[in-house]
Amino acid sequence: MKRIKNHIDELFKDIPHNHETEMVKQEIIENLEEKVFYLMEQGKEQEDAIHKAIVEFGDMEDLKKELGVKEPAKKSMAKLNLEFSIWGSGLIIAVFIFMNLYYTPHTIWAIYPIFAILWWPLSMYFVWSRKKWSE
């Protein structure tokens, strides 16, 4: 039954340890062990019974809500995307300027792809600002 205890410990790793959670954890372990013994009486092998009891137990979402555990807020990637787009477009623009000046210095053609590339950080700026104001 160590497998059941290890599984429940793994499920409870994100839940703060206190007396209430320890009591709930022990109750769940006892219930799963009783389920395993019942399934073994019905003719299942021990490993099959343990696996079936764990699968039927399901996930911890309802139990987390009952214990008052709040999910951590998801970190917004909008600012990182904005910074990446600024650096990436800056490097691409630098390559176009170098290519324009090195290969065809008398024809200024790099301005056209530069305008197209500038849409990337501009769009990321609007995504970032929308997320910033919605929080």
Q: What is the pTM of this model?
A: 0.50
pLDDT of residue 72: 61
Q: Nearest 10 degrees: CA dihedral of 73, 78, 84, 88?
A: 160
Cα–Cα distance for residue pair 58/7, rounded to 1 Å: 11
Could you identify the residue written with the tokens 């109750």?
27
Please name which of 67, 75, 73 lies closest in space to residue 15, comparing C-alpha atoms: 67
Q: What percent of the chain has pLDDT over 70?
A: 91
Its sign, for the CA torsion 94, 87, 125, 121, is: positive
Q: Is the pLDDT of residue 94 over 70?
A: yes
Contacts of 86 (CB under 8 A, 6+ apart): 121, 124
